[in-house]
Chains A and B, each alone.
Chain A
Amino acid sequence: MQDGDQNPKNRSRSSWTGFLASTNITLIVIGILILLTLTGALVPQQGMLEESGILEWKHEHPRATPVLSKLGLFATFQSAWFLISLAVLFLNTLACMIHNIARDELFSGSAASNRLRRLGFATLHISILVCMAGGFCSAAFRTSGQLILTEGQTLQDHRQNYSERIEGPLRKQQHDRFRVHLLDAQFDAPADWWAGQKSASIRLSADKTETRTAEIEFNLPFRFKGITFTLQEIGFSPEILITPKDAQTPPFNCFIALKVWGVNKEREHRDFLTLPHSERRLILSLFPSHSISNGIPVKTSEALKNPALLAHLESPDGTETQKQLIELGKRIEIEELDIQFRELRRWASFLVVEDPGYPIVCVSFWMAIIALMLRYSPEVVDWIKEARQNGAG
């Protein structure tokens, strides 16, 4: 890492920075990081793959699994090995900077191109330190969670409202920083394509004084009091009224945020509802538009034209009732249940993130790009000059 020191053997080792700034350490740490990253890229990582996928992999590799588990390599990038390597790289880079500044090496040399190189070198290594500091801030102080709202619903920033939430270990607990209300959600799929155009209108309020309304599109997150709201997915929430025929059991009414599944780049909306006072499940699939072909309902498009639900009951032993179609506003009977499809709204899911490390990382990116230009532009200029002198070919 020490620019300007062509012969490290002659380098003074009197100070601790001299030792830590050693290029041997740099090369060893980069080598270890390469090996760990390769492991992390080849071995399925927790959080990146469904648990069942990891179990399947473990089953297929019975010899490697105990060793990898013991070394924590199913979570390589959170393992002690990886974190220690990053910490050593940070210290190595820092020591390298201090050592070079102390030796007054950075800006010595008479040629302007040489000074430019050294400035680039210094900025580049500072940018690495800044990037790692930003990454540390993100890991330690970040909070990230998923909120799912149906149109007309309001939720508070409270842990119980998140479907999943991750917090950095050094983050102080904060609650009720905002209230979010979903005004409406739009999904425009011109050709039944999986991604489509998504947007959602939300109203955010905090401290009973500040209220803002925002239209959030995919790729265009919205910031409110340092918190980023990123639109993730939009689906359908049908309202179902289930009335048992016996008068003793009370009716049951709810919105069900149907899960969105990607099947052959098409969207499928289906989910189940465990019935109260029963072990059976009501399985629901929604067709935003449908037609009947040979007596079988078929989804025709993702556009909301004539929505219908396909419903059936499933018992714990796996036996199923016949699938029945319920059009919006209509009702059907499945065994002893009267099921009414009362209303259809959309739901939207938002990733709610507060990441103090991101701006720091962004700064490091710009620093690194500028530094690389400074560091290597003299070499590229030399290359062009040399090519001109030698002529083409």
Chain B
Amino acid sequence: MAQAEIIVFWTTVFLYMGSFLLHLRAFGHESEAGIRKAIILLWSGLAANTALLGLRWIQAGHPPVVDPYELQLSAVWCTVLLFLLLQATGMVPRVLSLLVTPITFLLLGNAYASQAPSSDMGSLYATPWMVVHVTFAWIAFGNYALAAAAGILLLLHKNVDRKFPNRLPSAEKLDLTSYRLIVLGVVNQTIMIASGAIWAKRAWGHYWSWAPLEAWSLLSYLLYVFYLHVRRFRGWKMTRTAWIAAFGLVILTISYWGISWFAPTIHPGP
């Protein structure tokens, strides 16, 4: 990492961490002003994250989507941006920030551990399908990460509500938010898988080869399809679906960054 990149990386981490701590404090004291400040700090963190991606882009000469370090920075950026936009429109509760920011710490920590000098993009990426595939992959990840955050908050709802009454949205609202985010995630993941298949056909001659990453991607997709079906037809709601949403994030994290733990893959990135 270049000196400037290191400075901006740690600025991003501290801003996100500051936002988390401020939000936690404001949550404890039921301070609306404190929550607003935490959200402003999160916007600042996002600005630093954007600058970090910009620096990497300039240094590498291509969008930061090639190696695991760049992919995780992009994932954090997309998740935080999505959260900030959705909370600004009132579509998701602001309290989700308390779980979104820890998810970003984990990703940033893993990004820091997997950093490598920027490399050339290679001809594999010289296609518009890359833009479609990667963009929708991040949006889907952001949706599912927020859905998992809502799910985990729902699982903690009783305990938190006992200690801090009336600070959290109702369990029903968290459940509905998680469901709606998963719906958005499924739509975006469908586009991601379809564009990835078209790209693979052009680059490798086959649209689906059951490579480990494809298997994990299908696994997470089936899990969310299962979620939608049990919710609709079996009436599963609240804690049961919240567990699926939380577990889905684990599977998704493996499919995005953990494939190399299990098997080699031709897919770039993980």
Q: Report whether chain A binds chain B.
A: yes
Chain A positions within 8 Å of B, measured between CB atoms, are 1-3, 5, 8, 23, 26-27, 30-31, 33-34, 37-38, 40-42, 44-45, 47-49, 53, 77, 135, 138, 144, 190-191, 193-198, 217-221, 228, 230, 232, 265, 351, 353, 355, 358, 361-362, 365-366, 368-369, 372-373, 376, 379-380, 383-384, 387-388, 390-393
Bound-complex Cα distance A137 to B226 (A): 26
Bound-complex Cα distance A269 to B180 (A): 53
Contacts of B165 in A (CB 8 A): none
Binds A, one of B2-10, B20-28, B48-56, B227-235: B227-235
Query: Contact check: which of A368, A383, A392 meets B180 at CB < 8 Å?
Result: A383
Bound-complex Cα distance A354 to B90 (A): 50
17 A-B pairs whose Cβ atoms sit less than 8 Å apart in the complex: A26-B229, A27-B226, A27-B230, A38-B219, A49-B263, A49-B264, A135-B208, A195-B120, A218-B124, A219-B199, A230-B203, A358-B207, A365-B194, A365-B197, A368-B190, A372-B187, A376-B184
Q: How far is the CB of B17 from chain A (nearest CB, A)?
A: 22
Q: How far is the CB of B26 from chain A (nearest CB, A)?
A: 12
Contacts of A368 in B (CB 8 A): 190, 194
Q: Given A41-B215, A391-B90, check contact A144 B205 (CB 8 Å).
A: yes
User: Across the interface, do B210 and A1 meet the contact criterion of CB distance under 8 Å?
Assistant: no
Query: Contact check: which of B89, B183, B210 meets A392 at CB < 8 Å?
Result: B89
Q: Given A31-B226, A393-B90, check contact A48 B210 (CB 8 Å).
A: yes
Bound-complex Cα distance A351 to B120 (A): 25
Q: How far is the CB of A30 from chain B (nearest CB, A)?
A: 5
Chain B contact residues, majority secondary structure: helix
Contacts of B120 in A (CB 8 A): 190-191, 193, 195
Bound-complex Cα distance A391 to B210 (A): 46
User: Across the interface, do A361 and B197 meet the contact criterion of CB distance under 8 Å?
Assistant: yes
User: Across the interface, do B205 and A376 meet the contact criterion of CB distance under 8 Å?
Assistant: no
Q: Given A195-B123, A218-B123, check contact A228 B205 (CB 8 Å).
A: yes
Q: How far is the CB of A18 from chain B (nearest CB, A)?
A: 15
User: Across the interface, do B204 and A196 meet the contact criterion of CB distance under 8 Å?
Assistant: no
Return the chain A residue nearest B180 by Cβ: A383
Supply 12 further A-B pairs (C-beta < 8 A) apart from A218-B124, A368-B194. Answer: A5-B233, A8-B233, A30-B226, A45-B215, A195-B120, A218-B126, A221-B201, A232-B204, A361-B207, A372-B190, A392-B88, A393-B90
User: Across the interface, do B205 and A353 meet the contact criterion of CB distance under 8 Å?
Assistant: yes
Contacts of B190 in A (CB 8 A): 365, 368-369, 372
User: Across the interface, do B203 and A218 meet the contact criterion of CB distance under 8 Å?
Assistant: yes
- Tell me which of B183, B191, B198, B207 has the highest count of chain A C-beta atoms within 10 A of its own C-beta: B207
B71 contacts chain A at the CB level, 8 A cutoff: no
Return the chain A residue nearest B120 by Cβ: A193
Contacts of A220 in B (CB 8 A): 202
Query: Contact check: which of A37, A138, A366 meets B222 at CB < 8 Å?
Result: A37
B114 contacts chain A at the CB level, 8 A cutoff: no
Return the chain B residue nearest A31 by Cβ: B226
Bits for B210-229, please: 1 = Cβ < 8 Å to A, else 0: 11100110110011011001
B59 contacts chain A at the CB level, 8 A cutoff: no
Q: How many residues of B contact A (CB 8 A)?
A: 54
Bound-complex Cα distance A393 to B90 (A): 5
Q: Given A27-B234, A368-B190, A392-B90, check contact A77 B210 (CB 8 Å).
A: yes
Return the chain B residue nearest A376 by Cβ: B183
Contacts of B232 in A (CB 8 A): 3
Contacts of A47 in B (CB 8 A): 210
Contacts of A190 in B (CB 8 A): 120
Return the chain B residue nearest A75 by Cβ: B210
Q: Given A48-B212, A387-B91, A393-B94, check contact A2 B233 (CB 8 Å).
A: yes
Return the chain B residue nearest A39 by Cβ: B215
User: Across the interface, do B263 and A30 meet the contact criterion of CB distance under 8 Å?
Assistant: no
Bound-complex Cα distance A379 to B234 (A): 19
B239 contacts chain A at the CB level, 8 A cutoff: no
Contacts of A1 in B (CB 8 A): 229, 233
Bound-complex Cα distance A176 to B52 (A): 55
Q: How far is the CB of B127 from chain A (nearest CB, A)?
A: 5
Interface residues of B in 181-197 (CB under 8 A from A): 183-184, 186-187, 190-191, 194, 197
Bound-complex Cα distance A5 to B229 (A): 12
Bits for B160-183, please: 1 = Cβ < 8 Å to A, else 0: 000000000000000000001001
Return the chain B residue nearest A30 by Cβ: B226
Bound-complex Cα distance A33 to B215 (A): 11
User: Across the interface, do A217 and B197 meet the contact criterion of CB distance under 8 Å?
Assistant: no
User: Across the interface, do A42 and B210 meet the contact criterion of CB distance under 8 Å?
Assistant: no
Q: How far is the CB of B186 from chain A (nearest CB, A)?
A: 7
Would you list the 8 A-B pairs with minimal beta carbon distance, nearest first? A195-B122, A351-B205, A365-B194, A387-B90, A218-B123, A193-B120, A230-B205, A41-B215
Bound-complex Cα distance A230 to B207 (A): 13
Q: How far is the CB of A278 from chain B (nearest CB, A)?
A: 36
B87 contacts chain A at the CB level, 8 A cutoff: yes
